[in-house]
């Protein structure tokens, strides 16, 4: 491993953030000599970012931590195009309202990890809609387009794969990387930005910006990517049956977030501790050296720390306590995620199928039926064998709730109101 002199590069390197970099030595020197502004772009394709973006967010956090200036770029403009990278086909076109709503949701996350303001080291949030929306086609082609090589674009994986897989690629999507490249230049002009970071899938897009920057601003710009995050058994990070592991609390509760980290595979514990917590490396080394069941302690610490960063001390402690009661005591924890149903509905009797679908434990009635057959459905810890069972006030426990479980790990409380 290269030994870096700057705090930022050393930290990133030691903690496993670096996958590719356009010029590590020069970048290291840059970080030693000045306060560097670096950016990462986030498209507004959903109301929240998910754990897949967390590595990126942590990088911005470390950037500020080591005395530099992070810039979070909202893709308010580029989201109107849709990044073809890694996609088989164009995503559906989002409406302006959806994009604005998504942007608002995504912004919230950054307040937890960055300090914004007007000072020289305060983080900046920008939106590429500000300069992309007003572009004029012919002007843009003449000023920027002449410096963009189609030959090079065709070599980029995002494009090449599409073509090789015999899938349609529209001019709209093809332009995405040109706009991303232009973003980089624009940020260099506006904020003196010198570095763009991103996931490894963004390497091509980022380099396009570096090339364009060299031609237009005669400044050396840098590119740095993180490794694609997969679990040791090869699955993509953060993708589960119930979808992505969202960061926003209203889309995935702190308890479920905590559980996500608690269920980390053994082989990933050390790697994740380095990437997703701020624990000192010697402490991490101690934790990942644990073996067998003892590793569970390390997983709890991982869950605690990751949840703390995301949702705060209180939420993390509560999630840990809920998990302890549920899994270690087998007791009913009042703080499990819950859904509310009107008292009157309960008195009338709620169908098992409806309850599970409403709780989000199953996708459809048929899904519940299948799980009943498979013995996965339990009410108040008793296995249900009759799919036509109804839930009534008689099912309320002494705590006044009904515990719906799917499998061993998913529990939702049903609360009458």
Partner RNA sequence: GGAGGAGUGCCCGAGUGGUUAAAGGGGACGGACUGUAAAUCCGUUGGCUUUGCCUACGUUGGUUCGAAUCCAACCUCCUCCA
Asked if 370 interacts with RNA (CB under 7 A), we say: yes
Asked if 88 interacts with RNA (CB under 7 A), we say: yes
Spatial CA neighbour of 54 closest among 304, 309, 279:
309
Min dist. Cβ of residue 176 to RNA (A): 16
Asked if 369 interacts with RNA (CB under 7 A), we say: yes
Asked if 45 interacts with RNA (CB under 7 A), we say: no
- 92 vs 90: CA distance, rounded Å: 6
* Residue 17 near residue 57, CB atoms below 8 Å: no
Report residue 214 as tokens: 């060299």
- 183 vs 43: CA distance, rounded Å: 13
Min dist. Cβ of residue 221 to RNA (A): 32
Nearer to RNA, 32 or 357 (CB): 357
Nearer to RNA, 184 or 257 (CB): 257
Binding residue (CB under 7 A) for RNA from 120, 134, 330, 374: 374
Asked if 160 interacts with RNA (CB under 7 A), we say: no
Asked if 86 interacts with RNA (CB under 7 A), we say: no
Annotated binding-site positions for ATP: 239
Min dist. Cβ of residue 220 to RNA (A): 36
By CB under 7 A, the residues from 190 to 219 that bind RNA are none
Nearer to RNA, 145 or 351 (CB): 351
Cβ atoms within 10 Å, residue 306: 25
Asked if 357 interacts with RNA (CB under 7 A), we say: yes
Binding residue (CB under 7 A) for RNA from 92, 136, 146, 408: 408
Binding residue (CB under 7 A) for RNA from 150, 363, 382, 392: 363
For residue 158, CA distances in Å to 119, 125, 183, 315, 407 come to 37, 27, 18, 39, 39
Binding residue (CB under 7 A) for RNA from 192, 342, 366, 400: 366
* Residue 59 near residue 17, CB atoms below 8 Å: yes
Stretch that binds RNA, among 31-39, 144-152, 198-206, 236-244 (CB under 7 A): 236-244
Annotated binding-site positions for L-tyrosine: 39, 176, 180
Asked if 371 interacts with RNA (CB under 7 A), we say: yes
Min dist. Cβ of residue 329 to RNA (A): 11
DSSP string, 68-110: -EEEEEEETTGGGT---TT-SSPPPPPPHHHHHHHHHHHHHHH
HSE of 25, CA atoms in CB hemisphere, 13 A = 0
Q: Convert 53-91 to b/e letters by CB count within 10 Å (16 or more is b).
A: bbbbbbbbbbbbbbebbbbbbbbbbbbbbbbbbeeeebe
Min dist. Cβ of residue 174 to RNA (A): 11
Report residue 126 as tokens: 């920008």
Please list, in sequence order, all residues whose beta carbon lies within 8 angstroms of the beta carbon of residue 32, skipping any fewer than 6 positions away. 5, 6
Report residue 345 as tokens: 């509905």
- By CB under 7 A, the count of residues binding RNA is 46
For RNA, the binding residues (CB under 7 A) are 88, 163, 166-169, 233, 235, 239-241, 259, 262-266, 292-293, 295-296, 299, 323-324, 326-328, 353, 357, 363-367, 369-371, 373-376, 406-410
């Amino acid at each position: 491993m290269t030994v870096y002199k700057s705090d930022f590069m050393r930290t990133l390197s030691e903690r496993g953030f670096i996958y590719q970099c356009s010029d590590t030595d020069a970048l290291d020197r840059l970080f030693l000599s000045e306060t560097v502004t670096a950016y990462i772009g986030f498209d507004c394709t959903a109301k929240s970012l998910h754990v897949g973006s967390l590595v990126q967010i942590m990088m911005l956090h470390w950037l500020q931590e080591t005395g530099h200036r992070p810039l979070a770029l909202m893709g308010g403009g580029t989201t109107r195009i849709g990044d073809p990278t890694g996609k088989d086909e164009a995503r559906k076109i989002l409406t302006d309202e959806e994009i604005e709503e998504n942007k608002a949701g995504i912004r919230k996350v950054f307040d937890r990890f960055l300090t914004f303001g007007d000072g020289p080291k305060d983080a900046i949030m920008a939106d590429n809609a500000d300069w992309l929306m007003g572009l004029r086609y012919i002007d843009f082609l003449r000023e920027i387009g002449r410096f963009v090589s189609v030959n090079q674009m065709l070599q980029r994986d995002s494009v090449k794969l599409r073509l090789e897989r015999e899938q349609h690629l529209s001019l709209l999507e093809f332009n995405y990387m040109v706009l991303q490249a232009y973003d980089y230049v624009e940020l260099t002009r506006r904020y003196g930005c010198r570095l763009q970071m991103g996931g490894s899938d963004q390497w091509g897009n980022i380099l396009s910006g570096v090339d364009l920057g060299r031609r237009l601003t005669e400044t050396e710009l840098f590119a740095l990517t993180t490794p694609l995050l997969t679990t040791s058994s090869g699955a993509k990070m953060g993708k589960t049956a119930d979808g992505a592991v969202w960061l926003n609390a209203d889309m995935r509760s702190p308890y479920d977030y905590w559980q996500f980290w608690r269920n980390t595979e053994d082989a990933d514990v050390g790697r994740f501790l380095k990437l997703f917590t701020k624990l000192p490396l010697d402490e991490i080394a101690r934790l990942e050296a644990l073996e067998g069941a003892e590793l569970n302690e390390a997983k709890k610490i991982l869950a605690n720390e990751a949840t703390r960063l995301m949702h705060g001390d209180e939420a993390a402690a509560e999630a840990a306590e809920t998990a302890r009661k549920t899994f270690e005591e087998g007791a009913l924890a009042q703080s499990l995620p819950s859904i509310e149903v009107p008292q009157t509905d309960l008195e009338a009797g709620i169908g098992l199928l409806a309850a599970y679908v409403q709780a989000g434990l199953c996708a459809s009635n048929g899904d519940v039926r299948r799980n009943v057959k498979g013995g996965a459905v339990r009410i108040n810890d008793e296995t249900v064998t009759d799919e036509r069972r109804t839930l009534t006030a008689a099912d309320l426990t002494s705590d006044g709730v009904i515990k719906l479980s799917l499998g061993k790990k998913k529990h939702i409380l049903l609360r009458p109101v």
